[in-house]
Every structure is written in C-alpha cells, then in structure tokens.
A and B are shown apart, each in its own frame.
Chain A
Amino acid sequence: MQTMRMEATVDVQAVDPPVFYATGKQPAGAAPARLWPAALAPYRDLANLRFDFPLILTSGKAGAPVISLSDAVNAVLQEIAPPGRDGETLRRTVLRIERAVRKRAAGGAKGTLSEMWAAAAANLEEAARSEAQKAWAALGLDGTVLDCHQGTAAILMAHLWSAAQNEKARQFLATAAKLSAALSGILRADYLRSAEGRSPQSLQAAMGGALQSLFDFSEMSALLPKATARDALPESRRRRLAWALAVLEQQRFFAVPGKAHAPANEPYGFRFDNCGEALAAYRARLPELTELVKAMAVAELEIDGAYNEGRHDAYFSGFDAGSLRAEDRARFPDYLLVLGDESEPFDNTGVLAVLSSGIPLKIVLNVGDLATGDDPAALGVRSTDIATLAAALGNVFVLQSAGSNLYALHERLSRGLAFAGPALFSVYAPPATAHLPAYLAAAAAMQSRAFPAFTYDPGAGSDLASRFSLENNPQPEADWTTSVLEYADGDLQRVRQEVAFTFVDFLACDPRQLHHFAVAPAGYDRLAPAAEAIGVPSRSAVPFVAVSDADNRLARLIADERAVDAARRCLEKWHRLQELGGVHNSHAERLLERERKAWEERAPQASAAEAAPPSAPVAVAEAPVTEAPAEVERAPGDAFIETPRCSSCNECTQINSRMFAYNGDKQAYIADVKAGSFAQLVEAAENCQIGIIHPGKPVNLAESGLEALIERAGPFQ
C-alpha cells in the first residue's frame, strides 16, 4: 500500500466553510476534481489485486455453475504446486497468468477462460509455458470470463438461471421419457394381443424383409390364441393412455434434444424483458401446463396399475389450475425477467404487482444508477425501496446486493432461483466512471449503506429470524463501516487513524454530486468527520470527508447540509434493515430492558431464597412397562390354546373345525368347546406338536370313557 501524504492545500479556490455548508454554493472553480475517498485509496490498482472478479461462468455439467478466477486458481495450485520452495515457480507462473487474465477482462476483453489463458501463456517465456499448460490441464473447467461491470448481474443471473433450467429439463425429460415408454409399452402389449395385432399382415410386418417368404403367416395367425374380451384393455383405459401419451409428446415446455418441431409447435421461451409479456405468457400457457401435470399424474397411476375409474375420474375431471401444487409448478421452467437496463426502465408498481401474483417469475433488477437527477435526497430511494417492499409481500424471495458482492452471494442467488415462487434480485451495478472502476463503485455503495445487501428467503423457515439475513454486509452491527487509514503527516510521521465510510463519502465518489463538496481551506480546523456530524447536528463544526488526489495527497472535502441530510435518511433506512435482521431490534431491546428491570427487582428476594436448603427432587416412580400377554378371561378347568404360540399347522382344525378355529392372524383358539367331544379335545392336545392345547375339564359329563380321557389329558393341563 502506498503511503498518502497529508497536504495542507489542494490547488483550488478557497470557500467559506459554514456558508458553504448552509448554502451549498461554491465559488466558480471551487468544485473538487478527480478525488478518491481516502478509504478506497488502497484499491486504486485494482487489476493487480486478487479479488472476486473476474468470474468464470462454467459450461460443464458437473460442479458449481460459477467460480471466481482466484478460487479456481487457488484450487489448482493446492492440487499441483508442492508446498514451500518446490512449488514456488509454478505458483508464480500461474499467478502471473491470473493477473494477465484479470487485466484483460478489466480492459473489456471478452472470451472464454481457455482463450485468455492461452493468450496469457503465449506471452510467457518458454520454460513457464509448459507449467501454464500443466496448470491448465489440472484446472479442468472452462467458461466465459465475466468481469464486474454494469451488465454483470444480468449476465450472471441469466447463466445461473439457464443452469437451473437445464437441470429441470433433464429431470423432466427423463421422467417424461420413462412415462411415455411405459404408456406405449402398455398400448403395444394390448395391440399385440388384439385380433389386429395377430393378423397375418401384422405378423408379417414384424418379421424382417428377407425372411418374410419363409413363413405362412395365415397359419401362424390361426395358431395364436386371440385375447379374450376380458384380457383386452377396456376402451376407456386405452383412450386415457393414448391421451396421456399424446399430451406428453406434444408438450412445449421443454425442448427435447434432437426432436424436430413444427413451427407452430416450437418449445416455449421463458426469458422476457417486460413484466406484462411475461405475465401474459404465463397465463396463456397455464391451461396447457395444467393438462400436462394431469396427464403425468394419470400416467403414473396407470403405470402403477392404481388408476381406479370410480375414484379418479371424478378427481381428474375437476382438475384445473387450482389443483396445481407448488411442487407441480416447480417442475416447470421459471420465467426470467431482466429489467432496468437503460433501454428498459422499470416501474415499481408493475414489478410489485407481478411479484405478488405468486407466479414463478425470477426478476433481476439491474440498478445502474442510484441517483434520480442530481438531488441527493432522492438518492437510492427508488431502487432500495422496491426490495424492502417486495420482502414485505411475504412469499417472495428477495435478494439485494451490490454487483461487487455477487460472487460471495452466489449460493443464495441459486437458492432464489430454486425457490418455488417469485423472486426478486435487485443488484446495484453501476458503470465505471473516470473516478472509479465499476467494482469499486458498487462496493462503495454497499460499504456506505447506500445499497446494503440483504436476503429474504421464505423457504428458509417460518419466521423472520430464519428468513431475513443481513449476512455479507461489512460490520452489520455498526452504523457506518470503519477502516484504518494510514498516512504520513506534514512532518512525514506515520499516522494511523480510524475513518468511517459514510453515505457522504459515497456521494463524494460520484462526479455528478461533487457540487455538494468543496475543498476545505488551508488551516481551517473547525471541521468534524461526517460520521459525527450526521449523528449530532452541530453548527460549530463543518462536516468533512477524507479524500486523496491523483498524486495520493490526502485532503479534506467539506460537505453541504443537503448531503448530510441525505446521509441521515440513508442511516434511517439502514436502521430499519438492521431491525429486520435482528440487529438492535427495538422490540427485542425493550423486552430485554423490561426483563432486566424485573430481574433486578427480584434479585434481593432470589438471593435470600438461594440461602434456603434446596428442596430434594421428588422421585417420580415410574411403573415398569411390561407387556403382559393378553389374558383371556377363563375359569379354572376351561379348555384353552396358547394362541400366540400356534404355528397354524391345521392338526386341531382338521379334527374339528367348529371347535378349533383360526383368528385373524390365522392362529388357533377354541371357538366352541361344546361343538365337539372331550375325546376330540384330548386328541388335538396330543396331536399338537407344540403342546399348546390344554383340554381342561370335560363339559359333557355324560360322554363315554371320560375317565381314560381325563387321564390322557393330564400331561397337557
């Protein structure tokens, strides 16, 4: 990092600070030019730093659809470069290539990583080229290189969206192909058994060309049994199968690779750049989608053999768009809308209206400019409000972020695309200015809370705490982000100072807003850092921001009151977001306060209670849980069978099936002891190999030979 020098003056005409603060009027020629906010000074030489950009939009099927160049390079170095000195040259070569690719991308070059890698490698000396080649081979991925610029969000989101749609297409087509194959299989089997299928002509057609003359197909046909009417598919079922098959084959929601389409039957497109058209397309296609879902459900039931006309006909005849479940819709492509390019300004109400309709639209708002006119008061209002409003709709996935932060959030982006419902991605991606590269301009907006990042993910849980996240904002607990500024003072002594990066600093990055600033006159010391002035309005000191000029000289810019007012409004909005994200939540803080007070009031009594001996825990005696065998009520001397041990061997039931019967589990019990003789009872007991029949005492005392029988029964009682 270069050390900045503190200069007493920057060559501009002096202003009267308090007057400027109050009026915002600059003397002619007093506007500062080409100044950097001091906090951003370390990043001036961006192309030589390693950071999240450029990205590689990978084209391969495996792996994440996007990776940053630095991550890809780190992974490959980890894999192929030995640690320590041995891997040093290889590491250096690869990092040189990375730098070259980054420079090319930053310079506006377009192309794939393989092209840029090859071009960078060609500039290396001979020895390094083979290392570059080796690293390339190990990298194992390729794709378009995407730098951070105004169009980044649109390109990245379209890429992620395509990846998600391709995956949906793969799954849908695999299911559809299986269903079609099974449906045609059933229809074909039916045909083959039919009179027509077994006709001589059809048999002949089934036999290859040259061999046809060798057989007597009429004879063959006469030999084959024809299906009886009972075996043939009922006409209603055949029609249903044919209908489902036709609907599946004519669907236009997914392009079937290699299938030729009549112009009237082209697969649908799902990318739009206008809310009305997307909505109209969705509505126009809804009946067809409903029909397709219904056909697939019918097909699954039919294939499973579970279609029951008595039950399902009524259900399916009433099947309409209202019958679709979220999972059903989620199988189909989502609509992608990219709005907010200069060509297509968007209107908030239109966007909110389509989002609240609940249809699976993924809207990307490409916010290129936070300003509306030159009024700092209106800054950011339109573009940040739409995201917070959309989040309030409840069932819309919302992600707001600066373009610079998209890679850090890419998993969330994919989550939003996968969310079964509407999603809004509001991305601030300003163009590069003479002042700042696009990446830094975007990062400054997030750093200064002008465009904070947040996600509202209705799929993450049922309450706000699970759904709302401020993750990825720098220092989310603080009002403003701070960093340590190092510079050399007038005596060339190193000074370290913590500086905040406020909304006023952000304004100072925008050349169009520079009329709200003036260079502080030399020696003027009644200045206060902007962060202080925003918090506590004061007439005694004029707010300033630290900037550095082209020669890296540090200076102070004083801001006018309108800029400070705008910063207060920005802070107010940030506080609301913080509350939603659970940071300094007023409800929680009040509750905490109330609890603390209550606790303090209770505290003296509690400590007294603590001194008393603790009461012994009351032992709760739990009844032992034992599964007692179900005992049937039985008088002593009654005949019985230990039913749970019966092995269903039929011995007893064959002796007398009225006396011995099986229960619902097919285990024997004595159904009617009077239905047979005591002799039969004893015989059964003797025949039962498991010995579970207990004859008890005879009920008919007049039965002959009882005495001997009672004796035989003895061992089984």
Chain B
Amino acid sequence: MTLEADCPLKMYEEHHDLADYQSGVPRWCSGCGDNAILTAMQRLCRDHNLRPEKTAFISGIGCSSRLPHYMRAYGFHSIHGRALPVAEGVKMARPDLDVFVVTGDGDCCSIGSAHWIHALRYNMNLTVVLHDNHVYGLTKKQASPTSPRGLKSNTTPRGAYLEALNPLTVTLGVQNVSFVAQAVDWIPETLYDILDAAFRHRGLSFVRVIQRCSEFLPKLFDPWLRDPQKVQLLTHEGALKPSAGLAAVYKNQLDHDPADMNRAREIASLEDPIPVGILYRNPDVPCYEDLRLSDKVRNAETIRAGLEAEFDRFTVWPGGKRTQRGRAQGGNADDANGSDG
C-alpha cells in the first residue's frame, strides 16, 4: 500500500483555514508592508492546504525576519544573513518539507550576499522572499545596499554615496538561476499570484517584494502608490493573468515570456515603472538535492560504519603503521559514508 493521492487513507486529510496558520500578533508597525506579505503567505498555505508540521519558515535577522514567529508552522529565526544555508540544510535533510526563506535587503544583500549567490546556483527547491524595504528597519534606519542614492540615514547622514544594488539583475546573472519575480506589497492580488507561482516552481524561486517601511521611509513609494501607471504588470499566458478588476486599475501591462532570459534582464534593469510579475522561469534547471539524491539508507549503523572508516584513515597505530584500508580508500568521504567501509 502506498499512500498516494488515491489512497483511501488520505481521504482523512485535514483542511485548514487562514487562522490555522496565524500565530501571535505581529509586532510590526501598522502600515508596514510585511503585514501584506504575511497575509499572502498565510493564504498560500491555506490554499495549498500545507500541513503546518510539514512546513518550515527560515529567516535571518531583521524586522522582516520575524515572520516565522507569526506563522503557525515550523520556524527557524536564525542568524543574520544565514537564512539560506540553514534552509538548504533543512531541505537536504528533510526533502519532504516545504521550506520558505524570509529575508530582508540587509539580511540577504548585505551580510548574506555570498550565501545568496551560491543558493541561487545550488537551485534547491526553496521559496525565497526578499522583503526589500530599502533600509535596515530593525536597527533603526541604517542604509542598506538597496537604499536609493542620497538617502539620509543614521549611517549615511550626508546621504548614501552609492547607487543602489538591484537584486533582480544580480540574481539573473547567477548560473542556474531558475525563477525570479518581483512583487509590490500594495497589490495583494499579484503578490499572492506571484508567491503561488514561486511555490509551484520546482527549484529556488526568488521573489523580491518591494515593501513599504511606514516608520523610516513612509513616503518613499508614494508616487507609485498614487499612480498605477508607474507599475508595469508583466503578463503572459501561463504566467501572470491579472483579474479584470485589477487590470482596470493597472493598465500599464507588458506581455513578457518568462522563458526569455535576455528580455528578463532588460526588464530587471527598469526602475520606473516598477516591473511586477514573473521575470524569469526555467523549470528544467536541476535541483541540487536531486543531483545528490542517494538511495543509501542512513541509519545508526551505516553512519557509524562511515565514521569508523573515515577515522581509520587517520588512525596512527602503535608501532607506526597505518592501516592498509585507510590508504587504499583515498579521500572520498562521501563514499565512505553509508557504505560498509
């Protein structure tokens, strides 16, 4: 008996509503765009009927990284900049879990940038959401790599000296990138649709959400909020299809095929209007966890045997002779693991 969808035992599956994914009252300021992302996440979990005990939210440090506290699921509020490697470890050990990564522009694009690049290249099946409020919120208005040039902040009192880093163009430049999208927190419908597409994509899906910080940059996005023409919806058959109501408000639309990398890179460079939609999607990039999939069973005995074999290679025996086995085995720890030694 296998427990696939058609199995009678699975008919007992539980259904969840939004409240089943809510936990605690967010400590975010009112007006903060993180609220919109949280709501979209909870809707996504509900609509996919994700089992809370099979879902993990991994974050770094920052206001945005508090999100796992507010999701009733497994969470790991990890260390600054290290959400991605932690999530990769979780996914590697438990490929059966749905793993989400929550990170901020400081967390991801500053201290965590090395992990960011390599996570893209590993292309593990993770849904990564970058809450990009263009500022370090938690540390009270310090400039982040995505802060606009000239932004006066606690760390740049004379205005930020450098051009902002564009997370989209960076991402699209990394080998093996397989899904890149951009959303804005103030259009909940597309935010949800993009997260949904990201979740369905097998591979690392990177979603940058332009997010308002009502406390430190309350006016930054006002021009875009006021003028829907300053948002360009990327539509395409099989990608994003706005509802009639939304299309009536956001008339500035561009048909873009997410399979087209060159076009995606051009669109990624646009700052005004802000492109919103799926820029790039390639379902054929292999996932690292699949490439490394092993049918070796790891239990106490095989792990012990693997470790013994590994230690044997370095054992110095009284009388000075090393084991033959150690020498013959060469240096491949992978092979020693899980084999009989």
Contacts and interface: CB of A to CB of B under 8 A. Distances in A.
Interface of A: 174, 177-178, 180-181, 184-185, 188, 293-294, 296-297, 300-301, 304-306, 308, 311-312, 315, 325, 327-328, 626-629, 644-651, 654, 664-667, 687, 689-691
Contact of A181 (B3, B188, B189, B299): B299
Nearest to B36: A647
Given A296-B1, A328-B1, A629-B245, A174 B33 contact: no
A648 B3 contact: no
Given A627-B243, A648-B38, A667-B188, A315 B33 contact: no
Contact of A174 (B2, B32, B295): B295
B340 to A, nearest CB: 9
Contacts, number: 108
Contacts of A297: 1, 3, 9
10 contacts: A180-B299, A293-B1, A629-B245, A629-B248, A644-B189, A644-B246, A647-B188, A664-B18, A666-B39, A689-B222
A651 B225 contact: no
A664 B43 CA distance: 9
A666 B43 contact: yes
A666 B42 contact: yes
Contact of A690 (B17, B186, B248, B298): B186
B46 to A, nearest CB: 9
B226 to A, nearest CB: 7
A124 to B, nearest CB: 40
Contacts of A644: 188-189, 243, 245-246
B35 A185 contact: no
A649 B9 contact: no
Nearest to A323: B1
Nearest to A178: B297
Nearest to B191: A647
Nearest to B25: A650
Contact of B33 (A294, A305, A626, A649): A649
A508 B82 CA distance: 86
A185 B39 CA distance: 36
Contacts of A180: 297, 299
B316 interface: no
Contacts of A690: 186, 225
B300 interface: yes
A181 B245 contact: no
B185 interface: yes
Contact of B300 (A188, A294, A306): A188
Question: Which residue among B18, B39, B243, B295 has the maximum number of chain A CB atoms within 10 Å of its CB?
Answer: B39
A510 B42 CA distance: 81
B214 interface: yes
B3 A665 contact: no
Given A304-B3, A328-B1, A665-B39, A315 B9 contact: yes
Interface string B269-300: 00000000000000000000000000101111
B217 to A, nearest CB: 12
B157 interface: no
Given A300-B2, A648-B188, A689-B225, 6 more contacts: A174-B295, A649-B33, A650-B31, A665-B39, A690-B186, A691-B225
Contact of B35 (A188, A647, A664, A665): A647
Nearest to B54: A305
A262 B96 CA distance: 37
B188 A300 contact: no
A300 B3 contact: yes
Given A293-B1, A647-B35, A665 B186 contact: no
B188 A649 contact: no
B18 to A, nearest CB: 6
Interface residues of B, number: 43
Nearest to B189: A644
B237 interface: no
A174 B245 CA distance: 52
Contact of B245 (A308, A311, A628, A664): A628
Question: Which residue among A174, A306, A649 has the maximum number of chain B CB atoms within 10 Å of its CB?
Answer: A649
Contact of B17 (A315, A327, A664): A664
Interface in B182-215: 185-189, 212, 214
A174 B294 CA distance: 11
Contacts of A626: 244
A311 B12 contact: yes
Contacts of B42: 666
B154 interface: no
B2 A648 contact: no
Interface in B82-98: 96
Interface string B288-330: 0000000101111000000000000000000000000000000
Interface string B240-278: 000111101100000000000000000000000000000
A649 B38 contact: no
A311 B33 CA distance: 42
B186 A667 contact: no
Q: Which 7 A-B pairs have the closest CB atoms?
A: A629-B245, A647-B36, A648-B39, A297-B1, A181-B299, A650-B30, A627-B244
Contact of B188 (A178, A304, A629, A645): A645
Interface string B80-118: 000000000000000010000000000000000000000
Contacts of A185: 299
A666 B18 contact: yes
Contacts of B185: 647
Contacts of B334: none
A691 B249 CA distance: 13
Contacts of B36: 647-649
A647 B53 CA distance: 27
Nearest to A654: B30
Contacts of A628: 244-245
Nearest to A307: B9
Interface string B1-25: 1110000010010000110000000
A569 to B, nearest CB: 48
A665 B40 CA distance: 8
Contacts of B31: 649-651, 687, 689
B339 to A, nearest CB: 13
B21 to A, nearest CB: 10
B17 A629 contact: no
A666 B51 CA distance: 20
Contacts of A305: 51, 53-54
Contact of A649 (B32, B245, B295): B32
Contact of B39 (A306, A308, A311, A667): A667
A521 B187 CA distance: 102
Given A647-B188, A689-B214, A629 B1 contact: no
B297 A647 contact: no
A645 B184 CA distance: 12
Contact of A308 (B12, B26, B299): B12
Contacts of A629: 243-245, 248
A596 B161 CA distance: 89
Interface string B119-161: 0000000000000000000000000000000000000000000
A308 B53 CA distance: 14
Contacts of B187: 645, 647
A421 to B, nearest CB: 18
A608 to B, nearest CB: 48
A690 B184 CA distance: 12
